[in-house]
Amino acid sequence: MSTFFRSIRAATIFLTRVPVGGFPYSRDEWVWASAQFPLVGGLVGAATGAVFAGLRPSGALGAAIVAFGVAMLLTGAFHEDGLADTSDALGGAFDRDKLRAILKDSRVGTFGAAALVVAIGGRAAFLARLEHASAIAVLSMMAFVAATARVGPVWQMVALPYATEQGAKSRDVTRAGIPQALIATMYGAAAATVAHVFGDVSMARILAVVAVDVALLALTSYRYFVRLGGIAGDFLGATEQLGELAGLLVLAWAPR
């Protein structure tokens, strides 16, 4: 049980810039950290929603942009960096050696910059559509979207081989197995329940978010395997970003 609770702190350190301390962490604690990704993501999402709710009187779109800016401060733009590197690599490489070289390059290219504009701008625009929801509804919906977007990457760690070099800490974290993926899925289910109860999100819409996330998981996993033969850390960040974008799109959708 101690390993499980300490893995929450390890996941917080891995995914965010929040200084929770607790070093050194054992190998088992890093391995179990992946199970806590949706929990940490849900907390970041709730904080994003809180900033948006508080700043809405200044204008919904501006408030949403600032809210995601705060989220990136909390995470060190960890997932956005993965999306940018993935977009540059998949968009600019024609073979696996070149793809790996681009993933290692810290510079952001045209594909990466374009992807960031779409991801940040799109999420902010969709979040702004929720301007009339109550503050607790916004918090619960953002927690739901952010948590479920982090479930898919954990399953990708289980299903696909790692195809690039890893640091010591990353190597342990990405050794997730079925138990870690199931716990991560349970966090996603809990976040969905909170969104249904406190965010007044219908079960149909919740299932739509889950269906879109599963479809993205299948599509990205296929592309990663075809292009590189497996996953890279940046790929996992890209999957998360696409999940957030798609989840917010579903919640913002208002059929006429």
pLDDT digits (tens, 9 = 90+) for 61-108: 999 999 999 999 999 999 999 999 999 999 999 999 999 999 999 899
Whether residue 216 is predicted with pLDDT greater than 90 in this model: the reply is yes
Contact 47/70 with Cβ under 8 angstroms? yes
pLDDT digits (tens, 9 = 90+) for 108-165: 999 999 999 999 999 999 999 999 999 999 999 999 999 999 999 999 999 999 988 7
The CA distance from 139 to 196, in Å, is: 12
Instruction: Write down the pLDDT at residue 2.
Output: 87
CA dihedral for 66, 71, 76, 82, sign (positive or negative): negative
Residue pointed to by tokens 């079960």:
203
Contact 143/42 with Cβ under 8 angstroms? yes
Residues 6+ apart with CB under 8 A from 203: 196
Instruction: Write down the pLDDT at residue 165.
Output: 78
Contact 135/19 with Cβ under 8 angstroms? no
* Mean pLDDT (whole number) for 213-240: 97
Residue 24: asked if its preceding bond is cis (omega within 30°), the reply is yes
Domain ranges, residue 27: 2-252
* Mean pLDDT (whole number) for 37-51: 98
254 vs 28, residue with greater confidence: 28
The CA distance from 109 to 230, in Å, is: 23
pLDDT class of 1 with cuts at 50, 70, 90: low
pLDDT class of 223 with cuts at 50, 70, 90: very high
pLDDT digits (tens, 9 = 90+) for 156-205: 999 999 988 776 567 788 888 999 999 999 999 999 999 999 999 999 99
What dihedral angle (degrees, nearest 10) is formed by the CA atoms of 243, 51, 200, 75?
Answer: 30
* Mean pLDDT (whole number) for 232-246: 97
CA distances (Å), origin 165, targets 15, 159, 161, 168, 225: 19, 18, 12, 10, 16
pLDDT class of 22 with cuts at 50, 70, 90: confident
Smallest Cα–Cα separation from 14: which of 233, 209, 197, 189? Answer: 233
Instruction: Write down the pLDDT at residue 256.
Output: 42
Number of domains in the chain: 1
Instruction: Write down the pLDDT at residue 164.
Output: 83
